[in-house]
Amino acid sequence: MKIMKYLSLTAVLIFLVSCNKNGAAQKPIKTELDSVSYAIGMDVAKNVKASFDDFDNDLFIQGFNNVIDSTDILLDQAVAQQVVRTYFQNKQKEEAVKRQEEALKNKEEGEKFLSENKTKDGVVTTESGLQYMVLKEGTGEKPTTASKVKVHYHGTLIDGTVFDSSVDRGEPTEFGVTQVIKGWTEGLQLMPVGSKYKFFIPSDLAYGGNPRPGGAIKPNSTLIFDVELLEIVK
């Protein structure tokens, strides 16, 4: 079972860490195998820290040593596997519930923000629910769904957290008008070249419940962008 093999590797790591904490000198890396061994230890430690909020190192080492010595084993192998399996299944369920609660909270907060924002001077709300404000009106052509554009942008969450910014990178970006989220596709077609608009994009016109994993954008996040349309590339 992969989980048990993984945990066995972890036991070795924890055992070695325990020895070092008890005063043993750290072993130097001399050979390629030494490097591989150390690298595996680093990888396992990273996974342990990501998988467990709390961990009993002593019991872990005790279980490892009991199996190595074939003495005083407290759990049957099949029972041990089921214990681990159940633990991770329950943890996945708990994390799923937390994600759902977070998504609902983000949606409610976003809807409240947009409801208050639409009453502010200069904010226009389209039929789809996109909100925008003209910061600077250009005089050039407006892009279409067939256009490729060059823009500068600065994206934040409603709490001000910056998640992406070509402005901060100091380099504008190019893309097709239909190659971005729905809020951008609609908003760009409102802008003459040379314009700078602020978009307030509801989650259903952004990434909805499926943003990029691990990023600052969470499920059902409302997004804010300052967008400057520099040119229509083609």
Q: Which positions are annotated as active-site residues?
A: 153, 163-164, 181, 207, 225
Q: Residue 139: name the closest of 199, 191, 197 by CA.
A: 191
CA separation for the pair 114, 131 (Å, rounded): 8
How many whole angstroms separate alpha carbon 57 and alpha carbon 114?
A: 49
- Three-state SS at 124: strand
**Long-range residue pairs from 59-64, CB within 8 A, at least 24 positions apart, any chain:** 60/7, 60/10, 60/11, 60/14, 61/11, 61/14, 61/15, 61/18, 63/11, 64/8, 64/11, 64/12, 64/14, 64/15
**Which has the closest alpha carbon to 137: 219, 68, 66, 194?**
194
End-to-end C-alpha distance for the chain, whole angstroms? 55
Give the count of beta carbons closer than 10 Å to the beta carbon of residue 169. Answer: 10
* Helical ranges in the chain per DSSP H: 2-21, 32-51, 57-69, 77-117, 166-169, 182-188
Q: Which residue matches tokens 């342990």?
A: 48
Count other Cβ atoms within 10 Å, centred on residue 142: 15
